[in-house]
Structure formats: C-alpha cells, structure tokens
Amino acid sequence: MHDWHLLALPMIAFAAFYLKAMTGFGPAIVVIAFGSLFIPPHAVIATSSILDFLAGAVLFRGGAKKAPRFLVGLAAALVVGTILGAFILRSIPPGDFRPIFAVAILSIALWFTFFRARSGTESLRADLPERCDRQDIAWSSLGGLLGGMFGISGPPILWHLGRRYRKEAFRGILITVFVVAALTRVISFSIAGLVDRHVLFYVALSLPGQAAGLFFGNRAFFRLSERRFSVIVGVILIAVSLKLFF
C-alpha cells in the first residue's frame, strides 16, 4: 500500500458522513467497503466505529431529554438482542440464514423506495412517545439479534420507525440509539487492543472530510421531502441487501 492512498480517507469520510447526516445511519457501509481497500480490516472497523461515535455526538441535539424512557427502552432492547444474537452465532452458523435476511432487507428497501411516501405521510408522527410499546421492544430486539448474528442491526428498526415517524423524528431516534451502540463498540475495541496509534492516525486523517460531510449532509437533510428521504433510505438498504447476497 502506498501512503498516498491514505489521502482517499477524507473523501471516503465525506461521503459516509454526508449520508449519516442525511439519514441518521449508514456510514459504516461506505467506510468499511472503501476503507478496507487501503487499510487492514480490523483497523478500518475500529476507525469506522470511532468516527461514527464522534458524528453521533455532533448530530445529537438533546433527543434523550425529550423522551428518555422511550430511547433508553429502545437502546436496552437493542443491547439485549445483540447479546442473544452473538450467543446464537456461536451455536448456529448464520450462512444458511443470510439469503433470507437479504430478501427481507430488500423487501424493506423496496417499500421505502416506492411505497412509504405514497401510502401517506399525514399519519406519521413528528414527536416521540413517552415510553416504548411492545412493538418498539420487539423490533429493536430483533434488530439487535440480527446485529449479533450478521453485524447489521438497522433494517428491522428502520422498518418499524419508518412506518411511525416523520423524517426528523426518524433520524433523531437513530442518531441517539446508534451513538450508544458506537460508543459500546469503541470501548470494546479499546479493551481488545484494536485502537492503536495507526487507528488514531486514520481517524485524524478522516476528520476534515467527516466535518465537511456532516455540515453539507445536515443542510441537505432539511431540504429533503419525505419522498426523497424515503428513496435515499431505500437505496442504502438495497446496497446492504446486495452485499449480503454477493
């Protein structure tokens, strides 16, 4: 690997966190897919997690103060599901389930792309409830379960939230919940010794691109209609499903 290849990291970070600022999720798809072309896999995963946590902290706007019990409930269900999924992973090889999971994600992606906005956005909520209901717990737990098995926890949560909330509330929930998940990964990787001076160097090199991506992505988010927002989320999920297929 040539050192000049590392100059691509700010551009990768710009694309990844432009996406994060617009939707509330998805930067790991870009950072890991393209960053692994230049730096070792374990390093790019650790780098992605640190950058994701920093971005979440920047984008966070006090959502937990508006509905702390609701957000804590979602995060707790996600964590419990992740632990259970990791336990299942030790006993059952996930390869046989991967195509089924990919088809499910593709179905969710097509719904976001073609049907979410057309089904009417008037019924979507703009505010957050005080507490989680059974569906919130169930879908968040399922997301954690699949995250523990496949490393991808977002789609079930996106499906559930996409049916209930407008894009502002939708993104706010994702930012709050996923910043907790990112912090958990950073702590775990640090304890495991994966966060070394090379990872910190990659993070530092990516920061200018990340800052620019967050700034312009955040501005773009507030200009998006519900229809365009749905299409963008759908396209990202299509990319995830294709990754699982191939």
pTM over 0.95: no
CA distance 39 to 130: 43
**pLDDT confidence of residue 144:** 82
How many domains in the chain? 1
DSSP secondary structure code for residue 93 in this structure: -
Q: Report the b/e string of 164-189 with b at 16+ CB within 10 A.
A: bbbbebbbbbbbbbbbbbbbbbbeeb
Q: What is the pLDDT of residues 28-52, one digit of tens each?
A: 888 888 888 888 888 888 898 899 9
**pLDDT confidence of residue 101:** 79
CA distance 239 to 76: 28
Q: Is 125 helix (H, G, I), strand (E, B) or coil?
A: strand
Q: Which two tokens stand for residue 172?
A: 């706010």
Residue 63 reports pLDDT greater than 70: no
**pLDDT confidence of residue 2:** 56
Q: What is the pLDDT of residues 100-144, one digit of tens each?
A: 778 888 888 898 888 887 766 677 888 888 889 999 999 999 988
- Mean pLDDT estimate for the chain: 84
Which domain covers residue 149, as residue numbers? 3-245
